[in-house]
Amino acid sequence: MGEETRLRYRFLDLRRPEMAEKLRLRSRMTTSIRRFLDENGFLDVETPILTRATPEGARDYLVPSRTHAGSFFALPQSPQLFKQLLMVAGFDRYYQIAKCFRDEDLRADRQPEFTQIDIETSFLDEKEIMGLTEQMIRNLFKEVLDLEFGEFPHMTFEEAMRRYGSDKPDLRNPLELVDVADQLKDVDFKVFSGPANDPKCRIAALRVPGGASMPRKQIDDYTKFVGIYGAKGLAYIKVNERANGVDGLQSPIVKNIPEANLNTILDRVGAVDGDIVFFGADKAKIVSEALGALRIKLGHDLNLLTCEWAPMWVVDFPMFEENDDGSFSALHHPFTAPKCSPQELEANPAGALSRAYDMVLNGTELGGGSIRIHRKEMQQAVFRLLGINEAEQEEKFGFLLDALKYGAPPHGGLAFGLDRLVMLMTGAQSIREVIAFPKTQSAADVMTQAPGVVDAKALRELHIRLRETPKAE
């Protein structure tokens, strides 16, 4: 039966024991989380659903105001600013299982409304917040699935991107990316020598044990796959018999690389007879994304995963990412504190690290958080670097800057995606399987036929006039 039919008759679909069991497990999970946070002195506080638009990365869902003509509320993408204001108000341990809304472009496994386990606390540093929330997740897995995790390993953003091509690496997968640009700077092969001599580029190798038996069609399929991420091709070397030197290697590229450099590369990646080594050479972002995605695909296709669960923390994220036009965007959000002073931040924004941290499980980001900015001058410095001038700061964030002026305690927090967490813990293939009444991939509800048309009277009361669509000739 097709998913759309199941969603249209969801009230019948939920009668199936496997569907009912997922919702029961979801309920047990939220009960466990609430109990843990209550026992640790956290206060459950509800924050507004009708609020105002703030720049958090995605598009807001807008709600027209009948009583304020021409003005709109926004549905919250997260309770971010309200929970920070609760810290200013003196509630030093807050939590909420909150509904959040994002009007994102269509993606396979995103919902326009989703549920977040939202946590904020004052006077704790990164280490303490990570320790507390890790304890909560370990307690949850023990209570609900009877699984015991050890301490979660920590890895910097830089190391995660270098070794795994992702800021949410799946550590069940043993494959790693290895940088080899230093061996290809002087080769007579522009595909390699160009990126090898460009500081904004990267050349990485990915060794696949036993992959030399891979047929050409499979290699072609993987080449098409990395093309999705912007890669222009996928070079490879099949290692048939290393003892025979270049003659023991099978690849169209070996003739362009001196034998000494080839041997250094193969030694560095740990290649032995029967392996295949894939190469990516391009802008650093493209290589990391393409080979990082290929690593995940190979891990699943070739059954390389070494364990069932691999939780971890990723730390030391950059404060900003640079856009093509040289401007900056916040990597997390504009309220994340940097690891430096306002003066150092403005002197070198591209090199600044943030006090942010993400919890990752099996290659999925479970939750992300940070220590927040609690001083007005630092918040204004970040706004300036993001191109938000003083007038716009006052118009959009005057209430926050006022609150910081009156004295805010050092504070930080973290938010977990509940739907994704339930999906992982139930083994479901999609988050739609663990939400009672989800939307389709096109953000519609086929059961209630939402969104729907509104009559002219209701639109007039909201001071809205619809444009007429031109009639087809």
pLDDT tens, position by position, 3-47: 889 999 999 999 999 999 999 999 999 999 999 999 999 999 999
| Total count of residues recorded for the chain | 473
Q: Quote the CA–CA distance of 246 and 32 in Å, as a whole number.
A: 60
Amino acid letter, residue 116: Q
pLDDT tens, 165-204? 999 999 999 999 999 999 999 998 899 999 999 999 999 9
DSSP letter for 448, please.
T
pLDDT of 114 over the 80 cut:
yes
pLDDT of residue 56: 57
Tell which CATH architecture fits domain 3-154+358-374+409-433: 2-Layer Sandwich (3.30)
Is-contact 123 92, C-beta < 8 A?
yes
Q: Is 103 known to sit in a ligand binding site?
A: yes
pLDDT of residue 177: 98
Which part of the chain has CATH 3.30.1360.30? 173-302
Terminal-to-terminal C-alpha distance of the chain: 39
CATH topology for 173-302 is Gyrase A; domain 2 (3.30.1360)
pLDDT of residue 216: 94
DSSP letter for 432, please.
G
Q: Is 56 known to sit in a ligand binding site?
A: yes
DSSP codes, 306-323: --S--EEEEE--BSEEE-
Q: Is 420 known to sit in a ligand binding site?
A: yes
Whole-number percent of the chain with pLDDT over 70: 98
Amino acid letter, residue 190: K
By DSSP bridging, strand 93-101 and strand 43-44 are parallel
Is-contact 164 289, C-beta < 8 A?
no
| Cα 461–chain centre separation | 40
Is-contact 178 291, C-beta < 8 A?
no
pLDDT tens, 342-394? 999 999 999 999 999 999 999 999 999 999 999 999 999 999 999 999 999 99
pLDDT of 106 over the 90 cut:
no
Q: Which residues contact 370 (CB under 8 A, 6 or more apart)?
A: 126, 332, 335, 336, 337, 354, 355, 356, 357, 412, 413
Which of these, 416, 306, 430, lies nearest to 362 by C-alpha position?
Answer: 306
pLDDT of residue 207: 98
Model confidence band, residue 331 (pLDDT cutoffs 50, 70, 90): confident
- Quick check: helix, strand or coil at residue 205? strand
Whether omega before 76 lies within 30 degrees of 0, making that bond cis, reads no
Q: Is 411 known to sit in a ligand binding site?
A: no
Q: Quote the CA–CA distance of 456 and 307 in Å, as a whole number.
A: 58
pLDDT tens, 305-328? 999 999 999 999 999 998 888 889
Is-contact 364 166, C-beta < 8 A?
no
pLDDT of 225 over the 60 cut:
yes
pLDDT tens, 115-147? 999 999 999 999 999 999 999 999 999 999 999
Model confidence band, residue 98 (pLDDT cutoffs 50, 70, 90): very high
Tell me the Cα Rg of the chain: 26
Q: Is 332 known to sit in a ligand binding site?
A: yes
- The pTM (predicted TM-score) of the whole model is 0.91
Q: Quote the CA–CA distance of 104 and 439 in Å, as a whole number.
A: 13
Classify residue 71 as exposed, middle or buried by CB count within 10 Å of its CB (0-12, 13-18, 19+): exposed
pLDDT tens, 229-239? 999 999 999 99
Which part of the chain has CATH 3.30.930.10? 3-154+358-374+409-433
Angle ∠(353,358,360) on CA atoms, nearest 5: 140
When pLDDT is averaged across residues 401-414 and rounded to a whole number, the result is 93
Q: Quote the CA–CA distance of 426 and 95 in Å, as a whole number.
A: 24
pLDDT tens, 37-93? 999 999 999 999 999 887 656 789 999 999 999 999 999 999 999 999 999 999 999
pLDDT of 441 over the 90 cut:
no
Q: Is 363 known to sit in a ligand binding site?
A: no
pLDDT of 415 over the 80 cut:
yes
- Quick check: helix, strand or coil at residue 210? coil
Q: Quote the CA–CA distance of 439 and 445 in Å, as a whole number.
A: 5
Which of these, 164, 142, 140, lies nearest to 153 by C-alpha position?
Answer: 164
What are 413's strand-pairing partners? 120, 370
Model confidence band, residue 448 (pLDDT cutoffs 50, 70, 90): very high
Q: Is 104 known to sit in a ligand binding site?
A: yes
When pLDDT is averaged across residues 263-278 and rounded to a whole number, the result is 97
Amino acid letter, residue 435: I
